[in-house]
Amino acid sequence: MFPSLLLLLLPFLSKNFWSMSIMSLMFISFLSLTNLFSADLSYSSLSPLFMNDQMSSTLITLTLWISALMIMSSNSVFYNKNNNPLFIFYVLSLSLILIISFSVSNFLNFYIMFESSLIPTLLLILGWGYQPERLQAGMYLMLYTICASLPLLLSLMILNSNNGHLSMIIPSTFSILPSLSSLESLWWFMTICAFMVKMPLYIVHLWLPKAHVEAPIAGSMILAGILLKLGGYGLIRLSMFYPNLMFNSSPMWNSIALWGAFITSMICLRQTDIKSLIAYSSVGHMALVVLGISLNSTWGWQGALIMMIAHGLCSSCLFSLANMTYESTHTRSMFLTKGLLSLSPTLSLWWFILSISNMAAPPSINLFGEISLILSAIWASPWYMLPIGLCSFLAAAYSLFLFTSVNHGSSPKFLNPISALSSHFNSIVLFHAAPIFLLITSPILISSWI
């Protein structure tokens, strides 16, 4: 797969940066799909620095797919000639960093790539954001992530000093220093804080809505589709070596996550900004991923990966739809965006399909992921059913609230009738929605990694 990444250089060898970058990423995505059909579910070492399994292959495929779609969605940058080569360079750089993050076999290399992904993301927000508040959003993004990741770096240095390696493939000698045995719970809390901020967990989630609202469509899609998955991926990898510490701390993390899912769902029901509502809904969905990972069950880990894939496709598509609506109405306010059903039935159909996917309605892959996570929670304690059931109900409520607020009602008088959407917009949404509904026909492709 890695020789095919040389195709990422093609856009810079061609005069048409835009089309060549999309074609390159789409082609590499289809090449990476071949890894998902491999019968070998164990690790395969590509080199001393890289390794591959079905979980990393799935996330790499998602990265390439979303990267191509975010370039397709950023047509306003292309039409306005807003420094196209530099924009493409940042997008492809971010894609390459994320691919390496999901492929490295060493925790220290993963940490370096984990932090490096902030640089292109920050530059995308600052360079192509909407409003002057993007400076504050960039500051929130950097401070939250860097401050939480410094204890992780210290923990990795301690582990390397004690064990002599930080390999993800050799778990047998992983242990913390004997002097830390009495403080292992505190050590574990400090270690995984970086991943919880990245997911993000409630309480440390404030950077997410700010970054989403101020970011261009490409930034929002890559944030929701891929960058939030870095936290889940790192948490799963680290939990493989410390299952007891992860399980013992699960009541605290799950309590915060489920309470946060309830609070953010209530916030979504009072939102007036379309992008802010979609951003807050990510906190609720990723709370279920925290729940599945922390319980250390096969169902939980499989459901966590499925939910990450489903959320990456669904949330990215919702942001793309929000951008299409914004380009037509020039507002993100749900008070002003009304009556799309009468102005553009095609756009309303796509809003409906993605809204029901966001609430995990059948036959979407979101439903399979939620069922897996709910079963893993019942195995741990039947009492989890109460908050999970409430969060599922509220997810349906704010998804329908989003759809009805944008599409129903009478359109404002100051809006001109929206012209029919071009095939370009329909293609973007179709490429998002097709995997959501097609993967349910063969979920083993993304659920059999463990």
Highest mean pLDDT among 205-214, 275-284, 417-426: 275-284
Q: Which long-range contacts (CB under 8 A, 24 or more apart) does 87-90 make?
A: 87/124, 87/127, 87/128, 87/218, 88/11, 88/12, 88/17, 88/18, 88/21, 89/12, 90/120, 90/123, 90/124, 90/127
In this prediction, residue 2 carries a pLDDT of 45
Identify the band that residue 14 occupies on the pLDDT scale cut at 50, 70 and 90. very low
The residue ranges of every structural domain in the chain are: 1-37+45-246, 249-450
- Taking the C-alpha atoms of residue 22 and residue 25, their distance in angstroms, rounded to an integer, is 5
273: which DSSP letter?
Answer: B
Percent of the chain with pLDDT over 70: 84
What pLDDT band is residue 41 in, cutting at 50, 70 and 90? very low
Where residue 40 falls among pLDDT bands split at 50, 70, 90?
very low
Given this model, what pLDDT does residue 180 score?
A: 53
pLDDT tens, residue by residue, 186-217: 888 888 999 999 888 988 888 888 888 888 88
C-beta separation of 203 from 283 below 8 A: no
> Range with the lowest mean pLDDT among 291-300, 349-358, 405-414?
405-414
Q: What is the dihedral of CA 130, 133, 135, 139, to 10 degrees?
A: -120
Provide the whole-model pTM: 0.89
Query: pLDDT tens digits for 308-343?
Result: 999 999 999 999 999 888 887 778 888 888 888 887
Whether residue 446 contacts residue 309, with contact meaning beta carbons closer than 8 Å, is answered with yes
Q: 209-267: per-residue pLDDT in tens?
A: 888 888 888 888 888 888 888 999 999 998 888 888 888 889 999 999 999 999 999 99
Over residues 62-105, the pLDDT tens digits come to 898 888 888 888 877 777 766 778 888 888 889 889 989 998 98
**pLDDT class of 425 with cuts at 50, 70, 90:** confident
Percent of the chain with pLDDT over 90: 27
Computed over every residue of the chain, the mean pLDDT equals 82
Q: Which amino acid does the sequence have at 340?
A: L
List, for residues 163-187, the tens digit of each pLDDT value.
Answer: 777 888 775 444 555 555 567 888 8
User: DSSP letters along 326-385, please?
Assistant: HHHHS--BTTT---HHHH-HHHHHHHHHHHHHHTT-TTSHHHHHHHHHHHHHHHH-GGGH
Higher-scoring residue by pLDDT: 347, 40: 347
Q: Which residues of 414-449 are buried (b: 16+ CB within 10 A; e: fewer)?
A: ebeebeebeeebeebbebbbebbeebbeebebbbeb
Residue 436 pLDDT: 92
What mean pLDDT comes out for the span 31-51? 59
Query: Do 197 and 142 contact (CB within 8 A), yes or no?
Result: no
Q: Tokens 């993050």 map to which residue? A: 101
Q: What six digits make up the tokens of 18?
A: 């835009």
Higher pLDDT among residues 316 and 45, named by residue = 316
Q: Which residues contact 159 (CB under 8 A, 6 or more apart)?
A: 107, 166, 174, 176
- DSSP state at residue 52: E
